[in-house]
Amino acid sequence: MGIKVMAFGRLKEILLSDLNIDAESTDKLMENLYAEFPMLSHLKLRIAVNQKIISGNTKLESNDIVALMPPYSGG
């Protein structure tokens, strides 16, 4: 199983590049990322799976794309 993880804004500075990670859910994915990149655990972020922002744990399938985004505001 391969999940592509893309980061934007300040989060990209922490991850340095897009990643391919195996994880069965967004909760497990974030647990793995927090272990590898502890700075992430102190930041607020939004998660999108296949271009849809999610608000809870979501099951992941092979070839899904997860985007990590800093909070944003419009005006």
Which pair of structure tokens corresponds to residue 54? 């999610």
- For residues 70 and 42, the answer to whether their CB atoms sit within 8 Å is no
Residue 16, domain member (yes or no): yes
Q: How many domains does the chain have?
A: 1
Residue 74 lies in a domain: no
Residue 70 lies in a domain: no
Residue 72: inside a domain = no
Task: Specify the pTM.
Answer: 0.88
Which of residues 51 and 75 earns the better pLDDT score?
Answer: 51
The model's pLDDT over 28-60, given as tens digits with 9 standing for 90+, comes to: 999 999 999 999 988 889 999 999 999 999 999
Q: Which domain holds residue 38?
A: 3-60
- Average the pLDDT over 11-22 and give the result: 92
